[in-house]
Structure 1
Amino acid sequence: MHRREATSVNNDNSSSATNTTSAPTPTIPTDDMNSNEPFKYYEPVNKSSTSLHMQDGSLSIHSSPHNKTLGERLKYFFHVHSDYFWGFLYRIASLIVILGVLIAIGIGLRYTDGLPKPEDFSKLKFDWKINPRDYLTPYNTTFQYNILMNGHAHSTYSDGKMNVRQLLDWHLANGYNAVMVTDHNTIEGGLAAEKLALAEYNDSIVVIPGMEYTCCRIHMNFLDINETVAATAPVPSDEELQRVISRVHELGGLVIVNHIPWSNTTQGGRQQARLPNHPSIEQLISWGVDGFEVVNQETFDMASYQAASQRNLIQMVGMDIHHPSVGAQVWLTVNAANMSRAGIMEEIRNRRTSFLFDPAGTRPRVYVDSPASYLTLTPLTYLGDYFGMFYYDDKGMYSFQGTFCHPELLTVNGSVIGWFIFWIIIFLLAFELARLCVIWAFHRVALASHCRQRGRHNSDV
């Protein structure tokens, strides 16, 4: 039979209790206790605990007396639990490395060129036909018209999302039969669209080439020209702007000042206009501009409309279309003698126009899907958006000449970084607590199972 026995030592081998002194004796492991599990007993005087460890058949004794100093107790505590603390440091180091890698990937992808685009415009279809005549009347209610034109459009020759064919199809679907293609600082998009319309669209839509002169002071449409008027500088002087206007007139074109409310809107995060130092309406009229864009998308520019009306200038309207998902909101109405570029321009030059206006915009709309190549990288690219909260980097309005119109603002969000670290620490502590609870639960289950097995073993004996 295997058993554990506690022996007592008597000084005089007598049976008298008064002459007997008992010495604490450690429990001696027998053959069934050949393990590394510690066995504890307590000194009756100072209540210090002693652990007996069986290691490779030898017995070692570890004591932790409670009357030791705090420093000694802490040293003993860390010594006993050194495996846990090394593991804890390993988990912290692993978390730091993982976060560093994720931040590097996310932020790096934000500044990587050549990544897949988020939208696929290759399969656009505009399979509807809207007739705004059915529900809108001209601003001049008695005006008769046979042309519905958009005076401001962009293609993939600049920052538009639609190629010239898609751009023409979008206009036909939304009730237009004429469009001015005005890409930023180039006439090439307008010329390509005109060539396509003449070759394949059977007079269903007329294209008038133009370009949007774009800089950090002003945006102007140069209409009915056949060559690009070069931008002089990102921030041109008054004299340079006047020379550009004169050059357009030499080419037989018109100069229309675009979206003044948009240009003078405060740039986000700053105390400046989107286009700083924009010329005033009075300055522009004195420089010889031919008209103003009085409606841009859903915005009606009352000041420009009043100035154009009082000075008998051209009142242009335009969608400033870039993306196919928007609806049509404004149409320039013209009553042309014939369906041609020259016929339409003659009426515009003679100020015989009006417009239809629907701020809510037409439906249906086209919404494009993301390509598979973009979706593959989305979990990584969105890391850049997430970790971008650590800093603020704003370059301001783009000049379309390779520069920006405002000084770059780069600030580090220290408070956000601090709170991020705080919540990481909270998460780590919660994880460690949950981990310890799980380990404790498993040990309890193992101990209960061991006790049941020992009970069955003892009952068998």
Structure 2
Amino acid sequence: MSTSSNASSNLLNRLRKNQDSRDEAPLYREELPSSTTSIPLLDSTTKTSPFQYFRTPEFRHRARTYSLGLLVRLLTLIVIIGVLAAIGIGLTYTDGLPDPDDYSNLQFNWTTNPSSYLRPFNTTFQYNVLLDGHSHSTYSDGRMSVRQLLDWHIANGYNAVIVSDHNTIEGGLAAEKLALAEYNSSIVVIPAIEYSCCRLHMNLIGINQTVTIGPPVPTDQDLQAVIKQVHDLGGIVIVNHIPWSNTTEDGYEVPRLPNHPSLSDLKAWGVDGFEIINQGTFDYPTMQFCQENNLIQMTGTDVHYPNVPANAWTLIQTANYTKESILNEIKARRTSFLFDPTGTNTRSYPSENSAYWKLAPLTTLGDYFNSFYSDSKGMYSFQGTFCQPEVLEVHNSMIGWFIFWLFISVVVFELVRAGVMALWSLVRRKTSISSQ
């Protein structure tokens, strides 16, 4: 009995020791260094994989956190680019924005005497009037006020000017009123309209009211009605810059003003003459046509900006220095001209407009994003439309390269960000160790 009892007692003690060792195992593992708690304990016979860490919960947590952060950063970048593009493109289609140049303080403090170095085309021609037959003010698309326009002409050797704003007589009438009131006969103003449409431009000279304008693409009958109306008002009709009108419109392979009437048709319709010099362009074939058909030959600066030269002066001899006398000589075809293809040397330049630079960063962005597409409309009709069909072309190649370089920029940013964060973590760890 005693032997059996001792054996049972020994077996019970061994079971208790095994149970105690199992109970103590967790206590031992909890005392392991914290840096090893996430790494499974393996004996020397276990084979480890170099990618085993990528299957751990810690890696999955870190990957999830980074992915969410990257998504937030990408969405933020897309929203910022979208907002900037919308603002920039919107501003480029907004009217009334500040001009980059300030024309308010122009100075024309010089005097040019073209007679001192140029001879008339008809070398024996006598003259006392030097006329500009074509000019523009702020009443249409010119940059100079009527006062500045008069000062510019005086500085460039003119003592008479035809002010011919697009499709309105108001600029010419305002300039004439100012000249009579303040310029003491130093310059004579003749009001006019540059009738502008998609078929031709022509100066309607010596009238005091705006005639019927339109439609943007008039018929032959429409144009003949305008010519007749001007003649009924006592004015003359001069067809302007035919070389400019017939120049190929960029991207369309058609003339800038399609279906321009021929010289013969215009003569048959009753026009009085043609502009044979516009700025620095000498239209010699049209001058020959005028000579052969006894038509008026006119020259014009077509000036819009102050920083351009004067190239030609229409010459007239009058007994009385008045608008009526000048018009009578023009109608009688008693004119000649001076021509300088180089143009006058002295110019006046506008100053910078500080208001423009406030919006320039955004409008420049708009110009950049506008380069992703081309919206071609052709030549403006000066009646609210365009003379060629609108062509919208999206530049897919540029958009693709934009996305490519944006992707490269994001990758570089993420790499730099990871490097900065790793460096910052190392600095903090060293700081923490040194402070212990």
Identify if the C-alpha distance between structure 1 residues 41 and 123 changes in structure 2 by more than 3 Å, giving closer, same or farther.
farther
Partner of 2:294: 312
Q: Which amino acid aligns with 2:187?
A: I
Identify if the C-alpha distance between structure 1 residues 272 and 78 changes in structure 2 by more than 3 Å, giving closer, same or farther.
farther
**Structure 1: how far apart are the matches of 2:384 and 2:277?**
28
Identify if the C-alpha distance between structure 1 residues 73 and 171 changes in structure 2 by more than 3 Å, giving closer, same or farther.
same
Please state whether the residue corresponding to 2:174 is helix, strand or coil. helix
Identify if the C-alpha distance between structure 1 residues 434 and 337 changes in structure 2 by more than 3 Å, giving closer, same or farther.
same
**Structure 1: how far apart are the matches of 2:40 and 2:429?**
17
Partner of 1:279: 261
How much does 1:167 deviate?
0.8
Please state whether the residue corresponding to 2:351 is helix, strand or coil. coil
CA contact (8 A) 1:27 1:39 kept: no
Partner of 1:3: none
Partner of 1:354: 336
Deviations 1:353-375 (A, max 9, x none): 22112222223222212333222
Partner of 1:130: 112
Q: Which has the higher helix share?
A: 2
Q: Which amino acid aligns with 1:45?
A: T
| 1:416 and 2:403 are equivalent in the alignment | no
Please state whether the residue corresponding to 1:256 is helix, strand or coil. strand
- The CA RMSD measured in Å over matched residues stands at 2.6
2:412 to 430, 434, 438: 430
How much does 1:115 deviate?
2.4
Q: Which amino acid aligns with 2:348?
A: V
How much does 1:41 deviate?
6.9
Identify if the C-alpha distance between structure 1 residues 92 and 338 changes in structure 2 by more than 3 Å, giving closer, same or farther.
same
**Structure 2: how far apart are the matches of 1:382 and 1:99?**
14
Range that drifts further, 359-368 or 427-436: 359-368
Structure with greater contact order relative to length (CA < 8 Å, sep ≥ 6): 2
Partner of 1:145: 127
CA contact (8 A) 2:161 2:188 kept: yes
Deviations 1:223-271 (A, max 9, x none): 1122222124111111111121122122221111100111111112212
Q: Which amino acid aligns with 2:150?
A: L
How much does 1:302 deviate?
1.8
How much does 1:67 deviate?
7.4
Partner of 2:160: 178
Identify if the C-alpha distance between structure 1 residues 319 and 36 changes in structure 2 by more than 3 Å, giving closer, same or farther.
farther
| 1:290 and 2:272 are equivalent in the alignment | yes
Partner of 2:9: none
2:246 to 253, 256, 264: 264
Range that drifts further, 99-108 or 142-151: 142-151
Q: Which amino acid aligns with 1:181?
A: V
**Structure 2: how far apart are the matches of 1:36 and 1:83?**
23
How much does 1:306 deviate?
1.3
Deviations 1:135-159 (A, max 9, x none): 2222222322211110001112221
CA contact (8 A) 1:185 1:212 kept: yes
Partner of 1:253: 235
CA contact (8 A) 2:214 2:383 kept: no
CA contact (8 A) 1:197 1:206 kept: yes
Please state whether the residue corresponding to 2:234 is helix, strand or coil. coil
Please state whether the residue corresponding to 2:371 is helix, strand or coil. helix
**Structure 2: how far apart are the matches of 1:40 and 1:328?**
91
Deviations 1:434-457 (A, max 9, x none): 222223333444555667x39xx8
**Structure 2: how far apart are the matches of 1:112 and 1:243?**
36
Identify if the C-alpha distance between structure 1 residues 232 and 377 changes in structure 2 by more than 3 Å, giving closer, same or farther.
closer
Partner of 1:394: 376
How much does 1:134 deviate?
2.1
Give 5+ residue unaligned stretches, structure 2.
1-27
Deviations 1:175-216 (A, max 9, x none): 110000111112221122112111111110011111111111
**Structure 2: how far apart are the matches of 1:281 and 1:297?**
21
Count of aligned pairs: 409
Please state whether the residue corresponding to 1:441 is helix, strand or coil. helix
**Structure 2: how far apart are the matches of 1:242 and 1:153?**
24
**Structure 1: how far apart are the matches of 2:384 and 2:432?**
76
Q: Which amino acid aligns with 2:66?
A: Y
Please state whether the residue corresponding to 1:81 is helix, strand or coil. helix
Please state whether the residue corresponding to 2:325 is helix, strand or coil. helix
Q: Which amino acid aligns with 1:81?
A: A
Please state whether the residue corresponding to 2:101 is helix, strand or coil. coil
How much does 1:79 deviate?
3.5
| 1:45 and 2:45 are equivalent in the alignment | yes
**Structure 1: how far apart are the matches of 2:84 and 2:305?**
33
CA contact (8 A) 1:275 1:397 kept: yes
The equivalences for 1:65-144 within 5 A come to: 66=50, 73=55, 77-144=59-126
CA contact (8 A) 1:291 1:313 kept: yes
Partner of 1:203: 185
Deviations 1:257-295 (A, max 9, x none): 100111111112212211111101111111121111000
Q: TM-score, normalised by structure 2?
A: 0.87
Q: TM-score, normalised by structure 1?
A: 0.82
CA contact (8 A) 1:318 1:330 kept: yes
Q: Which amino acid aligns with 2:312?
A: V
Q: Which amino acid aligns with 2:248?
A: T
